Copies of this chain bind each other. A is one copy, B any other.
Amino acid sequence: MSDRIRTRSWWGWGNEEDALTSDQSEGLADALRHRFERDDLVVRPAPSLGDIAITPSRLTPPEPLRPLMSDDRRDRALHTYGRSYRDVVRGFGGDFSGAPDLVAHPAGESDVVAVLDWCTSAGIVVVPFGGGSSVVGGVEGGRQPEPWISLDLTSLSGVIEIDRTSRAARIEAGILGPGLEDQLRPHGLTLRHFPQSFEFSTLGGWLATRSGGHYATVRTHIDDFVESMRVVTPSGIAESARLPGSGAGPSPDRLFLGSEGILGVITEAWMRLADRPQWKSSAAVHFEDYTSAVDATRAVSQSGLDPTNCRLLDSTEAMLSAGVASGAHLLIVGFESADHPVDRPIERAVEIARDHGGTVPDAIAVTGPDDATAAAGRDGAVGAWRNAFIRAPYARDAMVAMSVIAETFETATTWDRFGDLHAAVTTEAQKGLADICGGGWITCRFTHVYPDGPAPYFSILAPARPGSEVAMWDEVKAAVSEVLSAQGATITHHHAVGRDHRPWYDRQRPDLFARALTAAKSTLDPAGILNPGVVIDPAQPAP
Partner of A303, one of B210, B239, B340, B505: B340
Rounded to whole angstroms, the CA-CA distance of A443 and B245 in the bound complex is 21
In the complex the two chains form, is A452's CB within 8 Å of B305's CB? no
Interface residues of A in 258-275 (CB under 8 A from B): 258-260, 263, 272, 274-275
Partner of A167, one of B238, B256, B302: B302
| A interface: dominant SS | loop
Residues of B contacting A275 with CB < 8 Å? 302
Nearest neighbor of A516 in chain B, beta-carbon distance? B520
Q: Distance in Å from the Cβ of A150 to the closest Cβ of chain B?
A: 22
With known contacts A241-B508, A452-B168, A339–B304 Cβ distance under 8 A: yes
Interface residues of A in 484-530 (CB under 8 A from B): 488-497, 501, 505, 508-513, 515-520, 522-524
Residues of B contacting A455 with CB < 8 Å? 244-245
Residues of B contacting A163 with CB < 8 Å? 414, 416
Q: Which stretch (A41-49, A56-64, A246-254) binds chain B?
A: A246-254
Per-position binary interface string of chain A over residues 291-309, scored 1 when its CB falls under 8 Å from any chain B CB and 0 otherwise = 0000000100011111000
In the complex the two chains form, is A245's CB within 8 Å of B412's CB? yes
In the complex the two chains form, is A166's CB within 8 Å of B227's CB? no
Q: Distance in Å from the Cβ of A205 to the closest Cβ of chain B?
A: 12
Residues of B contacting A254 with CB < 8 Å? 250-251, 254-255
Q: Distance in Å from the Cβ of A482 to the closest Cβ of chain B?
A: 15
A108 at the interface (CB under 8 A from B): no
In the complex the two chains form, is A245's CB within 8 Å of B302's CB? no
Q: Distance in Å from the Cβ of A436 to the closest Cβ of chain B?
A: 26
Number of copies: 2
A165 at the interface (CB under 8 A from B): yes
Rounded to whole angstroms, the CA-CA distance of A512 and B416 in the bound complex is 41
Rounded to whole angstroms, the CA-CA distance of A209 and B250 in the bound complex is 9
A413 at the interface (CB under 8 A from B): yes
A240 at the interface (CB under 8 A from B): yes
Rounded to whole angstroms, the CA-CA distance of A509 and B229 in the bound complex is 12
In the complex the two chains form, is B523's CB within 8 Å of A516's CB? yes
User: Which of A167, A211, A260, A511 is the most central at the interface, judged by chain B CB atoms within 10 Å of its CB?
Assistant: A167
Rounded to whole angstroms, the CA-CA distance of A252 and B535 in the bound complex is 12
Residues of B contacting A516 with CB < 8 Å? 255, 263, 519-520, 523-524
Rounded to whole angstroms, the CA-CA distance of A236 and B260 in the bound complex is 26
A220 at the interface (CB under 8 A from B): yes
Query: Can you list 8 A-B contacts with CB-CB less than 8 angstroms, sorted by A residue number?
Result: A210-B247, A238-B513, A246-B492, A248-B490, A250-B254, A250-B255, A272-B452, A520-B520
